Structure 1
Amino acid sequence: MNDSDRRLVILIVDDEEINLKVLSGFVESFGYDYRLSDSGHDALEMLDQADLVLLDVMMPDMDGFEVVRRIRKIPGYQDLPVIMATALSDQRDRLDAVSAGASDFITKPVDATELRIRLDAHLRLKRYHDQVMRYQDNLERLVAERTQALEEAQAATVAAHLETLRRLSQAAEYKDEETAQHIERMSRYCALMAEKLGMDKEEVDLVLHASPMHDIGKIGIPDSILLKPGPLTPEEWDIMKTHTVIGAGILDSPSSVYLEQGRIIALSHHEKWNGSGYPRGLAGEDIPLYGRICAVADVFDALTSRRPYKQPYSNEKALSIMREGRGTHFDPDLLDLFMDNIDSVFAIQRQYRD
């Protein structure tokens, strides 16, 4: 399904013939091919034809929630993009869709422009994910072929692996009108804190290379939301928050310690010490340590950097805001550690200035 010279295929699943006609007309006008299915059972037999599934929720025999749960249990389809189309507007229904394994949801009646944006974003995300997985597969084969006598070549391969991950991370930051320097500053703040916590060199190095992947999920967020100069609506904010889950999905690879820790950071760096963060509402030490470290470093750099919706704050103003979040937003011990080493933080900030 990865041939670059063919049109991508959307599998449209709906038990209403009129909906199939309308959605297939939209999809065709966007330049995609499509396949049609009027039941969940038939759709499960057609997955090998699909690059993305556009799935109705309310269907007889097997509803959309059950269909997506079954898709996620099939080897090789855990990362297939599934967008659920529903007339249900209750937040509980949307959470049920995400819990079942849906990549996204869209409300009926479907708006053509919104549908195109969602399809384009998730198919673009799938291409990035496939690139990472292909690179990971190639890396594993290469390492398997090498012996201890090729340590130098293996070291060069690992360096190339890290550079690829860093460039993918930069791609997400550039989409957000940030710079590669944001990644450098933020990752080095994280490494500084890891070092001051007494972590060994290998773990400090792991934090340094995994933390740049914290916002890689922004690749899957529409530009109309990501670059919006004003406040987001509640619906837009719900979509924006999914970048944590999207990022974790991109980086889900237990065979790479860098990807695995990047996944943990992507999923947890917006959790808050008092449990009011997202996406899982974790609190205190239930939040992974790397995520808590990243939260401090990322917020400081965000506050002191320009964004589409704000001018940069001074260091003094940023630190004042962060002190107000001690014990609520931030792990109090980690925030204290950051403040105790603020001269080193400022040195990193000056070295990697935009």
Structure 2
Amino acid sequence: MLLSFKKLSEKQFTSTIMIIDDQASSLDILAETLKNIDEKVLIKPFQYASEALKEVKKSSPDLIITDYRMPVMNGIEFTKKLRRIPGCKDIPIMMITIMKDRAILYEALENGVNDFLNKPFDKTEYKSKCKNLLSLAKHQSKLKRRSQSLTKKINASSEEIHIREQETLDRLTKACAYKDCVTGAHLERIGRISYIIALELGLNESNADILRIASPLHDIGKIAIPDEILLKRGKLTEFEFKKMKTHTTIGYDILKDSPSPYLQTGALIALNHHEKYNGTGYPYGISANDIPIEARIVAVADVFDSLTNHRPYKAAWSLDKTINYIKSEKGKHLDPDCVEALLEKTDDITT
């Protein structure tokens, strides 16, 4: 059964939401609540998870909303099967549950659920979460399509490719800022600081510019981290921190295997920007020159800009305090050469 709220042909819809709930009354409410989310959103409701899986194999939705408690196949079992279907690894999944069992929630996260909605649900929260997940899915889909398009246009005008690619990367950077509640200005400054450090270290103009454009994508993997963890104000639990750390490998998976030098560099940075010079970082605990130079540069740029600017959870540090802290991390968290390059160009960076 398909639900739409305008008389449009299926090809005219821009997004598809699949809803799975074995209770017909709940299914109707979930579908009806979304009728005003966008006139070009197609709703596909299913009472049986098995039927939903068959439909996914024919046509992948942009968002899946599934109940947890269902006969034959519960929401987690459905998610496991879905993630094994080719092309379905990145479809956002929101699970609806009345349970507060942390073990169940953790199992759901481990198996690919991206967000949760508790019953009885708040309609405004429900619609907002759906809009956010659809928006993030669209940005990721645009990036993948753009990468494929660039491969086909390898012989086209390099300037035209650069302009269009830059626009896509700029939009993706905005998506990263939206999800992580950071400002676009912060990401732009990281790019500029990274560019200055790179030139001081001897990288050529072309590679420094690639780094400038790619560096704002360092936290792109956070689009897959649930808001309950990403935006939590208190200290993360051990499990939550483990989940948070996966944004490095997720970011790498999103950006890798592209012919674009910007995305190739972005993939390296996303994977390695939390590694530390002394080997105590993550995800792999590599050290010193085993960490790609691009990631070592961005690490210094990120620390400098984060400390010298106001954030919701802290006041801006003075330049002297920031420099003293960065010096104290030389050879521990931060690459000594990158730190020296930053210190040498501090006047350029702060003007």
* TM-score, normalised via structure 2 length: 0.73
Give how far 1:52 is off: 0.8
Question: Which whole-Å CA distance do the structure 2 matches of 1:268 and 1:170 have between them?
Answer: 21
Check if 1:300 corresponds to 2:311.
Answer: no
Identity %: 34
Aligned residue number for residue 47 of structure 2: 38
* Secondary structure at 2:22 match in 1: coil
Check if 1:113 corresponds to 2:121.
Answer: no
Q: How does 1:198-209 map to 2 (within 5 A)?
A: 204-209=208-213
Question: Which whole-Å CA distance do the structure 2 matches of 1:217 and 1:183 have between them?
Answer: 15
Question: Which whole-Å CA distance do the structure 1 matches of 2:190 and 2:256 have between them?
Answer: 22
Give how far 1:252 is off: 5.1
Select the residue among 81, 91, 101 that pairs with 1:70: 81
Mean Cα displacement is larger for which, 167-176 or 45-54?
167-176
Amino acid at match of 2:46: S
Residues paired across the two proteins, number: 332
* Secondary structure at 1:210 match in 2: helix
Question: Which whole-Å CA distance do the structure 2 matches of 1:325 and 1:88 have between them?
Answer: 44
Mark the CA change 1:13 to 1:174 in structure 2 (over 3 Å): closer, same or farther. closer
Select the residue among 105, 108, 112 that pairs with 1:101: 112
Select the residue among 285, 295, 299 that pairs with 1:283: 285
Question: Which whole-Å CA distance do the structure 1 matches of 2:126 and 2:248 have between them?
Answer: 21
Amino acid at match of 1:137: Q
Question: Which whole-Å CA distance do the structure 2 matches of 1:281 and 1:89 have between them?
Answer: 30
Give how far 1:141 is off: 1.8
Answer yes or no: is the 8 Å Cα contact 1:268–1:288 preserved in 2.
Answer: yes
Aligned residue number for residue 232 of structure 1: 233
Give how far 1:80 is off: 1.9
Select the residue among 320, 327, 342 that pairs with 2:324: 320
Give how far 1:130 is off: 2.6
* TM-score, normalised via structure 1 length: 0.73
- List runs of 5+ in structure 1 lacking aligned partners: none
Aligned residue number for residue 6 of structure 2: none
* Deviation digits for residues 197-246 of structure 1 (CA, Å, limit 9, x no counterpart): 676776555433321212446778999999x9xx82568x9898887677
Mark the CA change 1:93 to 1:321 in structure 2 (over 3 Å): closer, same or farther. farther
Q: How does 1:190-269 map to 2 (within 5 A)?
A: 190-194=194-198, 204-216=208-220, 232-233=233-234, 247=251, 251=255, 253-269=257-273
Amino acid at match of 2:300: V
Check if 1:20 corresponds to 2:31.
Answer: no
Question: Which whole-Å CA distance do the structure 1 matches of 2:110 and 2:47 have between them?
Answer: 23
Check if 1:178 corresponds to 2:178.
Answer: no
Amino acid at match of 2:50: H
Answer yes or no: is the 8 Å Cα contact 1:187–1:207 preserved in 2.
Answer: yes
Mean Cα displacement is larger for which, 267-276 or 303-312?
267-276
* Deviation digits for residues 124-154 of structure 1 (CA, Å, limit 9, x no counterpart): 11222232233323222221xx2xxx7xx23
Question: Which whole-Å CA distance do the structure 2 matches of 1:91 and 1:265 have between them?
Answer: 33
Mark the CA change 1:20 to 1:271 in structure 2 (over 3 Å): closer, same or farther. farther
Answer yes or no: is the 8 Å Cα contact 2:272–2:283 preserved in 1.
Answer: no
Answer yes or no: is the 8 Å Cα contact 2:60–2:88 preserved in 1.
Answer: no
Mark the CA change 1:348 to 1:97 in structure 2 (over 3 Å): closer, same or farther. farther
Aligned residue number for residue 344 of structure 2: 344
- List runs of 5+ in structure 2 lacking aligned partners: 1-9
Mean Cα displacement is larger for which, 312-321 or 86-95?
86-95
Mark the CA change 1:113 to 1:268 in structure 2 (over 3 Å): closer, same or farther. farther
Question: What RMSD in Å do the two structures reach over aligned CA positions?
Answer: 4.2
Answer yes or no: is the 8 Å Cα contact 1:10–1:50 preserved in 2.
Answer: yes
Give how far 1:301 is off: 0.5
Answer yes or no: is the 8 Å Cα contact 1:11–1:35 preserved in 2.
Answer: yes
Give how far 1:121 is off: 0.7
Mark the CA change 1:136 to 1:42 in structure 2 (over 3 Å): closer, same or farther. same
Give how far 1:255 is off: 3.8
Mark the CA change 1:18 to 1:245 in structure 2 (over 3 Å): closer, same or farther. farther
* Secondary structure at 2:44 match in 1: strand
